[in-house]
Amino acid sequence: MTLARDIMTSAPRCVGENDTLADAARLMKELDVGALPICGEDKLLKGMVTDRDIVVKCLAAGGDPRTATAGSLGEGKPITVHADDDIRDVLTVMSEHQIRRVPVIEDHDLVGIIGQADVALALAPEATGETVAEISR
């Protein structure tokens, strides 16, 4: 049985909920990623921010990424999976919520992220194709 912890990218970097979206964009560039977890002062996961969020929800709406915070884009309770969840359950969560990446939690701490690339590297092509098709519908 393959678990979330077996395929996740571990030790993800967070952007703070009070950091600006410009800070988030710089960190994305530095790490060469398109999404970052948003972590609160209490070190708990508050949400996710993507490069697309910064463009569509801030810039296109007339906002200033130098003053808008990452936390301002965290909407609702983040969708997460647990490190010991079976990968089939992770794929179901990704498909049901149509999300390309999902944070992995263990004992209330963020320990990893699973993205489509992790799925593609770890699973058979059929499983990867089905999951990508479901996420993109």
Go through the domains of the chain in sequence order and give each one's CATH number.
4-135 (3.10.580.10)
Q: How far apart are CA 96 and CA 7, in angstroms?
A: 20
Tokens of 43: 């070190």
Q: How far apart are CA 30 and CA 90, in angstroms?
A: 28
Per-residue pLDDT tens for 39-95? 998 888 999 999 999 999 999 999 999 999 999 987 778 999 999 999 989 999 999
Tell me, rounded to whole angstroms, the distance of Cα 113 from its chain centroid: 6
Whole-structure pTM value: 0.85
Q: What are phi and psi of 110, to 5 degrees?
A: -75, 120
Can you count the helices (H) and strands (E) in the chain? 6, 7
Closest to 55 in 3D by CA, of 45, 44, 65: 65
Tokens 């969708």 correspond to 79
Q: How far apart are CA 47 and CA 49, in angstroms?
A: 7
**Across 24-35, average pLDDT:** 95
